[in-house]
Amino acid sequence: MTGNITFTMIKPDAVRKGTTGAILNDIIQAGFKIRAMKYVHLTQKQAEGFYAVHKERPFFGELVSFMISGPIVVAMLEKSNAVADFRTLIGATDPSKAEEGTIRRKYADSIAENAVHGSDSDENAHIECGFHFSQYEII
């Protein structure tokens, strides 16, 4: 059975470019309900912790530096089939391979600076929401 929760981050590149509002609008228009949301600037330890699953990858250092290069928006989203539908909405990790009309195709420049994150499984969606939100912040 698929769950109804996913987790997203609007990354520093998208915030810097002023596309936060446009991306949130695309997410809401696609039928996602915002259950929790914050505007934050991650520390190095927080970014390393969030992306710990990627720590052996060659791009880990670059990923962490990028994610702490400016503020981001973190959000918990609700919709039926949330994880899969959100990944369809944002498109492929590499924006040059993302479908026309997807968030990454519209707002991202490269695989490293790809505008948004979306959970890759129901299990990770719950882990990632738990990383950023306490129970009282979820509506």
Catalytic positions? 117
Where helices occur in 1-139 by DSSP H, the ranges are 12-16, 20-29, 44-50, 60-67, 82-90, 103-107, 122-132
Binding window for ligand CMP (CB under 6 A); candidates: 25-33, 40-48, 56-64, 68-76:
56-64
Phi-psi region of 74 (alpha: psi -120 to 50; beta: other; left: phi over 0): beta
Rule CB under 6 A: say whether 99 interacts with ligand CMP.
no
Binding window for ligand CMP (CB under 6 A); candidates: 19-27, 34-42, 106-114, 131-139:
106-114
Rule CB under 6 A: say whether 117 interacts with ligand CMP.
yes
Give 43 or 139: the residue with its C-beta nearer to ligand CMP. 43
- Token pair 């990028």 is found at 66
Cβ of residue 93: shortest distance to ligand CMP, in angstroms? Answer: 5
Residue 81 tokens, joined: 């089939």
